[in-house]
Amino acid sequence: MSYENGKIPVLHEVDLEVQRGSLVAICGPSGCGKSTLLHLIAGLDQPTRGQVLHDGQSLHRDRDLTLLLRSRIGLVFQLHNLIADLTLTENCLIPAIAAGLPKGEARLRLARLTTATGLQHRLGNRIQDLSGGERQRTALCRALMNDPQLILADEPTGALDEDSREQVFALLVDLVRSAGRTLIMATHDRSLADRCDRVVEMKDGRILS
Ligand SMILES: Nc1ncnc2c1ncn2[C@@H]1O[C@H](COP(=O)(O)OP(=O)(O)OP(=O)(O)O)[C@@H](O)[C@H]1O
Ligand SMILES: [Mg+2]
């Protein structure tokens, strides 16, 4: 995978297979390609060579499949990518309504997710008025609104204090263990990585182990 038409090579011969229902951490120094790899898996970027398969099917084979996969994949962006002028509730309802979830059901899900992440008192706040850690948890709630089979989380706890970090990780672990979801999480947090089923070590765009 490279950026700017091959001028900036980022990933090299990356070969990764993740089992459904597992909890995988991706670790490695800043700039090694963790976010790039998550974006490829999500279908936001396309590999220069090779392919990304979900349940054996190519992500970009046709548009319908891509649309289907979009609602089956929840991505927590490292920089959150929330809409600053809108409220927490509005940010989270957008993907749910886009996916066709009835508004009442969407609000119920949001209530459950915000309670699980300690954000229930911030529903009506605009993103620009939230703290960094609150934004990070909002981004997680938004990613989980459509109950995705595959959760891709890019540093989901980087801005959190220890209690919030534990709360968020417990929610993610529960989704994997109880609901059979799959989690791939980029993290610099070794103690969290060590609690995952598997740690994928990256360096200079390659997978070491
Ligand atoms: N859109 C882009 N255009 C050009 N280069 C990019 C782009 N996105 C990332 N890069 C480069 O690709 C490399 C890998 O970036 P990436 O964001 O995947 O690293 P990372 O492992 O997630 O780092 P961090 O731990 O700091 O988040 C870096 O050298 C970065 O500068
Ligand atoms: Mg990154």
Q: Which domains does the chain have, with CATH numbers?
A: 2-207 (3.40.50.300)
Ligand 2 geometric centre to CA of 155 (Å): 7
Neighbours of ion ligand 2 (CB under 5 A): 34-35, 78
For residue 103, pLDDT over 90 is answered with yes
Query: For 24-39, how does the pLDDT look when each residue is reduced to its tens digit (9 = 90+)?
Result: 999 999 999 999 999 9
Instruction: Give the Å distance between the CA of 169 and the centre of ligand 1.
Output: 24
Query: Residue with the nearest Cα to atom 25 of ligand 1?
Result: 30
| Residue found under tokens 């995978």 | 1
How much is the pTM?
Answer: 0.94
Residue 201 Cα to ligand 2 middle (Å): 14
- 64 pocket-lining for ligand 1 (C-beta < 6 Å): no
| pLDDT of 75 over the 70 cut | yes
- 3-state SS of 132-175? HHHHHHHHHHHHHCCCCCEEEEECCCCCCCHHHHHHHHHHHHHH
